[in-house]
């Protein structure tokens, strides 16, 4: 499976979270607390017209992420 950053995934795309790249401790902790952990399936629902924020779905709920936050999430893309 190809590895890419979450912010590069198009709407409707799905992937499995592989890792969180280096970022501030506070941002990393916040993403982990919201459930963005290794092995979780995440889907991109939509992207705002100017590209920020990005709405994703994981663990049965939707979450809006800043583009900079989504850029720090490495995923393995899924194809169906």
Tens of pLDDT, residue by residue over 34-45, are: 999 999 999 999
- Separation CA 32–CA 51 (nearest Å): 23
How many domains are there within the chain?
1
Q: Is 38 left (phi over 0), alpha (psi -120 to 50) or beta?
A: beta
Domain enclosing residue 9, as ranges = 3-78
The CATH number of residue 37's host domain is 2.30.30.90
State the pTM of this model.
0.85
> Is residue 74 scored above 80 in pLDDT?
yes
């Amino acid at each position: 499976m190809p590895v890419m950053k979450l912010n590069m995934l198009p709407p409707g795309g799905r992937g499995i979270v592989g890792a969180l790249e280096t970022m501030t401790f506070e941002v990393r902790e916040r993403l982990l607390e919201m459930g963005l952990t290794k092995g979780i399936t995440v889907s991109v629902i939509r992207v705002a017209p100017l590209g920020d924020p990005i709405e994703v779905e994981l663990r049965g709920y939707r979450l809006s992420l800043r583009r900079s936050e989504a850029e720090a999430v490495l995923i393995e893309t899924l194809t169906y």
